[in-house]
Structure 1
Amino acid sequence: MSSANAAVSLQDIATRAGVSAMTVSRVLRNSPRVSEAAKKKVMQAARALKYQPDPHLARMMTMVRSRKAPKVRAVLAVVREGTPQDALHDTAYQYVSIGDIRNRAEKHGYYAEEFWMGRDGMTPARLGKVLQARGIEGLIVSPQSSQMLCAQMDYAPFAAVTFGYGLKQPSLHRAAGNMTLGVQMATTQLAARGYKRIGLAVTRWVDDRAEHAYSGAMLFFQQSMPKSSRVPILLFPHNDLRKCASVFKEWMKTHQPDALISFDTYVPDWLKQLGLRIPEDIGLVVHDWTHRMKGLAGIYQRRDEVAAAGVDLVATQLLQHERGVPEVPRQILIPPAWMEGDSVCGSG
């Protein structure tokens, strides 16, 4: 303990709260094996005695516990949206995988389990009741539909975090990719390769999910270019890209970019239909590169790191007994990486 609270022991808190020292220990490490009534007593006693945990001791005890195989693990709920026939479930859109979330959750001693709103009559209100009935206190919210059912959840009983900026209200703690930096990387790479007319074509949802980092970074880049070389940004009018072929082709014919930051699906076929070869006639950078896109140049958003940051945020809230919508939401931005590929000239 620090000198400020050296006289306060777990036994002191236990005596004041009328519980055992073991119960105090469990409450302070956020064990799910303690009743809400006991938690309340212990936290009130700890505050009254001005107890502050020793960070060195806490870290040491975490290391000790990590060497033990727990029989029962607390659950973090990964809230997904399974609304039928939503365009945002198309393969053109990428989301943080459950595997990456689970990998990080296990390091904190949690198991991550998916819950799908919009499936089998699961409404936001019903999901809240299910989670509370199961004693689940930590939520990782992954907006995945244009209906934004996750915005209708009551977050007061939970420690919660979200990915990206799709969920604007309520404003939770969040982890996201830094796509301002991502677009800056891509435009810098393309300009260095001699491309003069660089275009951006994404959906409004993608730009909104990044808090307009795509359009903002592209407009900033264009300020350093002659007006004759500036290609107007194309924000597709539909989330369903299959409805956007004619808009894209008209935009291409009108503005004739020599390089493009866009999707790996649909767009290559549309370019081919226009008689354009990649990369001989036009360079293509995938705005959201994943390992299945090898051979294409792209912006790798490193969602494994976004997942880790999100889990860390919710684990910290649980450890500090923080619940509900935060007054000041914390935001962690993960820098993306540039991926070389044969879809642009001068790669390798």
Structure 2
Amino acid sequence: MTPTDLLPCFPSTTSSRGTATVFAQSSRASMRAVADRAGVSVMTVSRALRNDPCVRKEQREKIERIANDLGYRPNAFLGRYLSITKQTRAETSGNVVALLHCRDRTRDETGDGLHGEEALGEHLPWEFLKNHAQTMRLKVEVFPVENSKASVAQVFRILRARGIRAVLVLPGHEPHAMESFCFDPFVAVSLGFGNIGEDLNRVGTDIMTGFRHLTACYLARGCRRIGLAITHKEDVKVNHGFSSGLLRFHKEIPAGDRVPALWLKDDPGRAADVARFTEWFRSTRPDLVIGDENRLRAWMDAAAIPEKQRPLLVSPDWAPGQTVAGLNHRRDLACRFAVDMLTTGLISNQTGVPANAISMLVSAELAGI
């Protein structure tokens, strides 16, 4: 058996740029879901489904029933991969995935002050990423990277000294940070599309299709004046790519069903922004506004807009706990596929920048509607 015999088959199409784009979606029950329902660990579920004699017969039968009820099917690729890693690898740094978190130093000094794992909350589901990596016998460690050649060189030396072979790039607030990084010795995957530099294999969210579904849903409900409010926070995401995507989507809405987009700073307390928001709202009277929920509410409060006159709010980057509808970017699935892509690269030793990078797009979902 060769390493390529273990590669999962990804359906793909190739664009004129030579980059394959894969659309991925998954609703299959996970081993963790079976474990949670059975009240046991993931390892116990794994052993039970492999008829391990360490698991009591009655417990094994219970787990098998739950797995069948949830529609869980063992991942054959994962099973074969684990059997190989058990035989050929010890627990060394070769099993470590370096999560390169490109951070803005000024945010650490004047912003939320978060570092390492704590700073990842707004970017990805950290616990989910760690747990899925563990099922692949991988351990994820965070390596902050600042936008300086000295920082990039230091991280490179650390990874090489520790024998780490896999890197997962999270652009964060510094999309240019990795421009000088040498990927030649590493299997590398980028999470999202904000990394400026080498064209790596990457996993992101197909937000444009999600926005089209969202718009169609609200147009069908009678919303005829759809507005877009972009703040500085949205504008700087992925090197202005997020705001560009929002504007491109907004222009696809029929002219009679949209109102002009609004650009504002992040601070709802700025008198100039409050005045600008008030003028925009009074002149356009939108039925629905896509934008940051908290800031939009703060601006409407500052503008003293009566509750009955307020439009529906929709979040362009919805997260659990929000009280409005929006677009769920499904970062959990993106993390899962990114780890799977790294695993494939490790098995087949696909180091360096690929000649034809793969872009896997996870379908965004409408949430709270």
Q: Same fold (TM over 0.5)?
A: yes
Q: 1:307 to 1:277 in 2, by over 3 A?
A: farther
Pairing partner for 2:81 from 35, 58, 62: 62
Q: What letter corresponds to residue 115 of structure 1 in structure 2?
A: F
In structure 1, how many angstroms separate the alpha carbons of the residues matched to 2:86 and 2:219? 51
140 and 248 in structure 1: CA distance in 2 versus 1, 3 angstrom threshold:
farther
Which residue does 2:10 correspond to in 1? Answer: none
Is this contact kept in 1: 2:326–2:366, CA < 8 A? yes
SS of 2:190's equivalent?
Answer: strand
Q: Deviations over 1:192-246 (max 9, x none)?
A: 2211110122332347444943222221223xx43xx43223355x577877834
Aligned AA (2:342): V
Secondary structure of the 1:169 match is coil
Does 1:213 pair with 2:234? no
1:126 Cα offset (Å) = 0.7
Residue 332 of structure 1, CA deviation = 0.7
Secondary structure of the equivalent of 2:204? Answer: strand
Partner of 2:221: 193
Cα distance in 2 for residues equivalent to 1:75 and 1:257: 50
Shift of 1:134: 0.6
Aligned residues: 282
What residue number does 1:204 align with? 235
Counterpart for residue 84 of structure 1:
105
User: Structure 2 CA distance, aligned partners of 1:271 and 1:249?
Assistant: 8
Distance 2:160 2:91 in 1: 21
Deviations 1:93-133 (A, max 9, x none): 931132222122112110001011239x9700110010111
**Aligned partners of 1:204 and 1:235 also within 8 Å:** no
CA distance in 1, matches of 2:185, 2:268: 38
Equivalent-residue separation in structure 2 for 1:298 and 1:279 (angstroms)? 21
CA contact (8 A) 1:186 1:285 kept: no
Check conservation: 1:86, 1:146, Cα contact below 8 A.
Answer: no
Answer yes or no: is the 8 Å Cα contact 1:199–1:259 preserved in 2.
yes
Structure 2 gaps of 5+ residues are: 6-74, 113-118
Q: In structure 1, what is the Cα distance between the partners aligned to 2:242 and 2:333?
A: 16
1:292 lines up with 2:321 in the alignment:
yes
Instruction: Tell me the TM-score normalized by structure 1.
Output: 0.70
**Greater gyration radius:** 1
Counterparts of 2:226 and 2:330 in 1: how far apart (Å)? 24
CA deviation digits over 1:322-342, x for unaligned, max 9?
A: 11122211011111111125x
Counterpart amino acid of residue 111 in structure 1: K
Structure 1 pair 57/161, CA: closer, same or farther in 2 (3 Å)?
closer
TM-score normalised by L of structure 2: 0.66
SS of alignment partner, residue 311 of structure 1: helix
Q: How does 1:101-250 map to 2 (within 5 A)?
A: 101-118=129-146, 123-146=151-174, 148-202=176-230, 203-206=234-237, 208-210=240-242, 212-222=244-254, 225-226=255-256, 229-236=257-264, 245-246=273-274, 247-250=276-279
CA RMSD of aligned residues (A): 3.6
CA spacing shift, 1:76–1:194, aligned 2, 3 Å = same
Any unmatched runs of 5+ in structure 1?
6-55, 342-348
The separation in 1 between residues aligned to 2:269 and 2:180, in whole angstroms, is 29
Q: Distance in 1 between matches of 2:187 and 2:268?
A: 35
Q: Confirm whether residue 275 of structure 1 aligns to residue 301 of structure 2.
A: no
1:22-41 matches, cutoff 5 A = none
> How far apart, in 1, do the equivalents of 2:218 and 2:77 lie?
48
What is the CA-CA distance between 1:248 and the residue it aligns to? 4.0
- Tell me the secondary structure at the aligned position of residue 178 of structure 2: helix
4+ residue segments displaced more than 6 Å: 56-59, 66-70, 87-91, 239-244
Checking the alignment, whether the CA contact within 8 Å between 1:80 and 1:114 is kept in structure 2 is yes
How far apart in 1 are the matches of 2:208 and 2:330? Answer: 14
Q: How do residues 299-314 of structure 1 correspond to structure 2 at under 5 angstroms?
A: 299-314=327-342
Question: Cα gap change, 1:60/1:127 in structure 2, threshold over 3 Å: closer, same or farther?
Answer: closer
Displacement, 1:70? 6.7
Question: SS state of the match for residue 106, structure 2?
Answer: coil
Query: In the superposition, relative to structure 1, how do residues 200 and 57 fare at CA in structure 2: closer, same or farther (>3 Å)?
Result: closer
Q: In 2 relative to 1, CA 248–85 (structure 1 residues): closer, same or farther, beyond 3 Å?
A: farther
1:75 to 1:59, Cα distance in 2 relative to 1, 3 A: closer
The question of whether the paired residues in 1 share the 8 Å contact of 2:235 and 2:242 is answered with: no
The 3-state SS of whatever aligns with 1:289 is coil
Q: How does 1:250-269 map to 2 (within 5 A)?
A: 250-269=279-298
Pick closer, same or farther for the CA change 1:339–1:301 going to 2, 3 Å: same
Identical aligned pairs, as a percentage? 22
Cα displacement (A) at 1:319: 1.4
After TM superposition, give the deviation of residue 82 of structure 1 in Å: 3.3
Distance 1:147 1:172, change over 3 A: closer
